[in-house]
Structure 1
Amino acid sequence: MMYEKIKKSFDKQGLMNTLNARLIAVDRGMVKISCDFSKGLTQQHGYIHAGVATSIVDSACGYAALTLMPENVEVLTVEFKVNFLKPADTKTLIAVGKVLQTGKTLTICEGYVYNLEQDKLIAKMTATLISITI
């Protein structure tokens, strides 16, 4: 049930579709999204652009938060900070979003962007999301 809710929402995201991003894991308080290298997603040095990494890890954090929400609640990002630790020189980015703490209104998540083998940390995000009733 939880996976279907997240997948249905993920499939509506035009940006994730444009990036050819894929939802690869959903668990309570944790979501993983992948994005394959494409020349159209690079910056001037040939690495995957920081905007791509930021976009998929923001979505991973948001969906991790959504896994803990009641059926009639959605989330929106209100703030995030990203530290880039090394260039995204990989065939596939793996973004992992994890909930640190959830409250009545705000949820705090950590996000991580790894290379395909998940042995190199490329970026780290801290995100704050707000719950909205739909």
Structure 2
Amino acid sequence: MSDIERRISDSFRAQGLMATLGAELAHVAEGEVHITLSPRPELSQQHGYIHAGALTSVLDSACGYAAMTVAQPGFNVLTVEFKVNFMRPARADRFVAVGKVTKAGKTITVCQGEIFAEEGSQREAIAIMQATIINVPGST
């Protein structure tokens, strides 16, 4: 495991919300992070779909950690803003949030994210995000 993978894994495990949601860190590479989420009744909204807040939280973390993979040593990241578009209801066996760096700068990193719904062998994008991430001094 590389230093950045270890740093992201340690940070991910320290996030209470990710633990509460049951999210799992699935893939870490330079400029890209995947986080999975399995549906549970506790994460649903009134129509039985997974709540947009749960999915947005996981996708925000995937984008933030993707930005962290390219941040300079001694810096951490925080989300400045994001925009999410949901394209269909969130019903599936599993969800995969993929965060990718679009452009990394010294202070600001722009990321794009997608949530994929996996049902059997089918995989379909259900939401997209654009996120702006800021680099802040600190290593945690």
Q: What's the counterpart of residue 109 of structure 1?
A: 111
Q: What's the counterpart of residue 99 of structure 1?
A: 101
Q: Distance in 1 between matches of 2:133 and 2:4?
A: 19
In structure 2, do the counterparts of structure 1 residues 8 and 100 end up closer, same or farther at CA, with 3 Å as the change threshold? Answer: same
In structure 2, do the counterparts of structure 1 residues 119 and 87 end up closer, same or farther at CA, with 3 Å as the change threshold? Answer: same
Q: What's the counterpart of residue 22 of structure 1?
A: 24
Moved over 6 A (4+): none
Provide structure 1 residue ranges, at least 5 long, that are not aligned to the other structure: none
Q: Distance in 2 between matches of 1:105 and 1:67?
A: 14
Q: What's the counterpart of residue 46 of structure 1?
A: 48
Does residue 57 (structure 1) correspond to residue 41 (structure 2)? The answer is: no
1:10 and 1:16 in contact (8 A); partners too = yes
Q: CA deviation at 1:19?
A: 0.2
TM-score (norm 1): 0.97
Q: Distance in 2 between matches of 1:93 and 1:120?
A: 10
Matched positions, count: 134
> Which secondary structure does the structure 2 equivalent of 1:86 belong to?
coil
> Which secondary structure does the structure 1 equivalent of 2:70 belong to?
coil
Does residue 13 (structure 1) correspond to residue 34 (structure 2)? The answer is: no
Q: CA deviation at 1:69?
A: 1.2
Q: What's the counterpart of residue 86 of structure 1?
A: 88
Q: Distance in 1 between matches of 2:38 and 2:73?
A: 31
Q: CA deviation at 1:118?
A: 6.4
Provide structure 2 residue ranges, at least 5 long, that are not aligned to the other structure: none
Q: CA deviation at 1:71?
A: 2.6
1:74 and 1:133 in contact (8 A); partners too = yes
Q: What's the counterpart of residue 32 of structure 1?
A: 34
Q: Distance in 2 between matches of 1:108 and 1:69?
A: 12
Q: Which amino acid aligns with 2:111?
A: C
TM-score (norm 2): 0.93
> Which secondary structure does the structure 2 equivalent of 1:46 belong to?
coil
Matched-pair identity in %: 49
